[in-house]
Structure 1
Amino acid sequence: MDLERRLDLVKAPPTEEVITERELRKLLETSEHPEHYIGFEISGYLHLGTLFLCGYKVNDLAEAGFNCKIYLADWHSFINNKLGGSWENIIKASKYYEEAFKFFCPKAKIVLGSDLYHNNDEYWKDVIRFSKHVTLSRNKRCLTIMGRNQSEQLDFAQYIYPPMQGVDVKYLAEDMPQGGMDQRKVHVLAREVFPKLGWKKPIPLHNHLLMGLAEPPSLSGESKVEKVIAAKMSKSKPWTAIFIHDSDEEVRQKLLKAWCPIKQTELNPVLELVKYVIFRERRQFLVERPVKYGGSVSFSSYEELEREYANGKIHPMDLKLSVAREISKIIDPIRRHFETPSNRKLLEVF
């Protein structure tokens, strides 16, 4: 595969940014198989934003020649009180995550945090080495990577989370750590600290965060990135998330209640599903509607649909029902995968 094709795969949606593209080009010029990883806390059911959007990018990178790893961060999950802070349940749930990502990202290697850290004295030494170059105030600014903010009352263990994630990069993939835009602060920190320790500076890739289906919170004065982070799909708000196990009717009901203002294309979660999921899976998208309202219409690009919606030529209800139809079809293979008796048993922990 030629260089430009590899670059295109790395930068294709849902990629939002690569820090930096110049360094990325140099990396691909000098390495056929760079190292990559993306890490996940282990908590509840997987949804479209976690498995599909992140998984799409993992698959792009694997096609571009990267050695890809899916990191199941059980220690980080325990620190961040996932699944009630039960380490036993976190380990059980990791088997579910492993099965899902093996299905969706077959070329990626699955790594469990406990396996990475076991008998790894050098890792813990590096956590201290890294931390000696980070002020407390800078560390606190990175707490957004775990869905926290500086004003919350946190236990001390949670302050160890950012340095651990920074050092994870060295041990899992010095070339390219991947994360949502909410992981940007710790990756930028790693780029600043690593050279001071004589470590290779990573080239982070940040993918888009799929919006939840609810009306986005009003954050006056915040940047668009901060608004997107605040509005992201989250399993902690199940009514705003489409899970990979949702039935056709559950998907339909969630879409019917979704935030989808007429003519509004920015921060519209229903349009986001078309842009980042449906057109990733389909070359055409059919909006079904009664003949008296113009009849069904087919779109061959997201831009075409967005333009028609902005002009008021597509009604939100027709869009919602058509999106529900396609999303149900798209999640059906992974949904059926977990309906086998052995895989269904993996869900009992939740």
Structure 2
Amino acid sequence: MIKEALAEIERGTAEIIDKERIEKLLKDYFENGKHYYVKAGFDPTAPDLHLGHTVLLQKLATFQKYGAIVQFIIGDFTATIGDPTGKSETRKKLDPQTVLKNAKSYEEQVFKILDPDKTHVLFNSHWIEKLGAHGLVELTTLVSVARMLERDDFEKRYKAGKPIAISEFIYPLLQGYDSVYLKSDIEIGGTDQKFNLLMGRQLQRSYGIGKEQAVIMMPILEGLDGVQKMSKSLGNYIGVTEDANTMFAKIMSISDELMWRYYELLSSKTLEEIEVLQEGVRTGKVHPKYAKELLAAEITARFHGDEEAKRAKEEFDKVHKQKEIPTEIEEYEVVGPIWIAKALVECGIEPSTSQARRDIQAGAVKVNKEKINDKDFHLEPGEYILQVGKRKFAKLKVKK
């Protein structure tokens, strides 16, 4: 059983530090029923999570299957400082009202994946504010400036002559202090968090709490393009709160190669089940599209339920197999005649007229199911169904 648990825990990880400690924790749970604590911190910098964030949540859920109590840390205090990880300049701080609003949204979303009975949702302001000036100064004496400058992004900015605020040095110290206060056994984070995660080990040792947390680093999930990391700002994300039809269709749009990456990091299927499915695709017994439909259905059901996932598949088939118009389309009104590129922007299915022109030239734009090749085309008064690619639709009424 321990071997099986370890295989699932190691699945998809980028790096594990102190695997032996994890083995001991599992052994103590299976033999003595003793629970242990796995920590992950989230700064509520935006109200909505996307599937990239859920990579950590899936790993936390795996630990819950094997005896862990999850310490889900909402960094309401540290978010007011701003995490400098990977930043080339000082990050803007969030006001407390925005932090609390976003934190509430996080709480509602994470229990789509985590077991609430095995999760402690904690706000780090609870213990950090109690540190006071004396405690904070004491904390800063435990780590040298030279140690801080070992961090890659700090080192680059220092060499480039870019400013580094003292508060940015404080951030990893406070994240590490979370592990001291909570006496965490394991901490999970992204590969970009390695310095901060190791800080937890160092501070636990410095404070003499009798343990040093193991560290698990998860890779950054690629977005729909399969190249850049999943990000709202890049537009290649799948939002946890997106409607079922959009979520299903976005997952179906990923490449066959990227699909297996998503299976490894996001699916609840066992490694053996995924291996059987992969073998089926390799031998031609299973069509890649069917494997992708299973993935899309699983993830959509996780956030919307089985019935919504089923309806999303039916809607996808209707639009993509039968070439029909979606059942529900946003409706817009404009005064015309109107240039097609501007109309596409007004309907929100193109980000700019220049992008619209490129898509028209690429043959990706249709009006009433007819492909438009003329980038100077104008829509006269009337009603139209506008389409960009396979997933973007809008109903437009052009008035005189």
2:19 to 21, 42, 52: 21
Amino acid at match of 1:243: G
Could you tell me how far apart the structure 1 residues matched to 2:131 and 2:306 are? 35
Q: Which residue of 2 aligns with 1:172?
A: 182
Q: Which is bigger in relative contact order (C-alpha 8 A, separation at least 6)?
A: 1
Q: 1:256 to 1:144 in 2, by over 3 A?
A: farther
Greater CA deviation, 67-76 or 184-193?
Answer: 184-193
Q: Where is the strand percentage greater, Structure 1 or Structure 2?
A: 2
Q: Which residue of 1 aligns with 2:198?
A: 188
Alignment of 1:58-137 (within 5 A): 58-80=60-82, 85-105=94-114, 106=116, 107-121=118-132, 125=134, 127-137=136-146
- TM-aligned CA deviation for residue 110 of structure 1: 0.5
For the 8 Å contact 1:14–1:57, the answer to whether it is kept is: no
Q: Secondary structure at the match of 2:171?
A: helix
Could you tell me how far apart the structure 1 residues matched to 2:270 and 2:37 are? 30
Q: Secondary structure at the match of 1:240?
A: coil
TM-score scaled to structure 2, two decimals? 0.60
Alignment of 1:229-248 (within 5 A): 231-237=228-234, 239-248=235-244
For the 8 Å contact 1:175–1:202, the answer to whether it is kept is: yes
Which ranges of structure 2 fall in alignment gaps of 5 or more residues?
84-90, 309-400
Q: Which residue of 2 aligns with 1:222?
A: none
After superposition, what is the alpha-carbon deviation per residue over 1:32-58, rounded to whole angstroms, capped at 9, x for unaligned? 12222111010221112223x222222
After superposition, what is the alpha-carbon deviation per residue over 1:163-207, rounded to whole angstroms, capped at 9, x for unaligned? 111111111233212222222222224434543443432212223
- TM-aligned CA deviation for residue 257 of structure 1: 5.6
For the 8 Å contact 1:191–1:201, the answer to whether it is kept is: yes
Could you tell me how far apart the structure 1 residues matched to 2:69 and 2:298 are? 32
Q: Which residue of 2 aligns with 1:206?
A: 217
Which ranges of structure 1 fall in alignment gaps of 5 or more residues?
217-230, 284-299, 337-350
2:52 to 49, 72, 77: 49
Could you tell me how far apart the structure 1 residues matched to 2:21 and 2:297 are? 41
Could you tell me how far apart the structure 1 residues matched to 2:275 and 2:13 are? 17
Q: Which residue of 2 aligns with 1:271?
A: 260
Could you tell me how far apart the structure 1 residues matched to 2:284 and 2:277 are? 11
Q: 1:247 to 1:20 in 2, by over 3 A?
A: same
Count of matched residue positions in the alignment of Structure 1 and Structure 2:
290
Q: 1:131 to 1:235 in 2, by over 3 A?
A: farther
Q: Secondary structure at the match of 1:205?
A: strand
Q: Where is the helix percentage greater, Structure 1 or Structure 2?
A: 1
User: Rg bigger for which structure?
Assistant: 2
Amino acid at match of 2:59: K
Could you tell me how far apart the structure 2 residues matched to 1:201 and 1:161 are? 20
Could you tell me how far apart the structure 2 residues matched to 1:113 and 1:55 are? 19
Could you tell me how far apart the structure 2 residues matched to 1:272 and 1:210 are? 8
Could you tell me how far apart the structure 1 residues matched to 2:203 and 2:124 are? 22
- TM-aligned CA deviation for residue 72 of structure 1: 0.3
Q: Compute the RMSD of aligned alpha carbons.
A: 3.9
Could you tell me how far apart the structure 2 residues matched to 1:282 and 1:57 are? 13
For the 8 Å contact 2:157–2:164, the answer to whether it is kept is: no
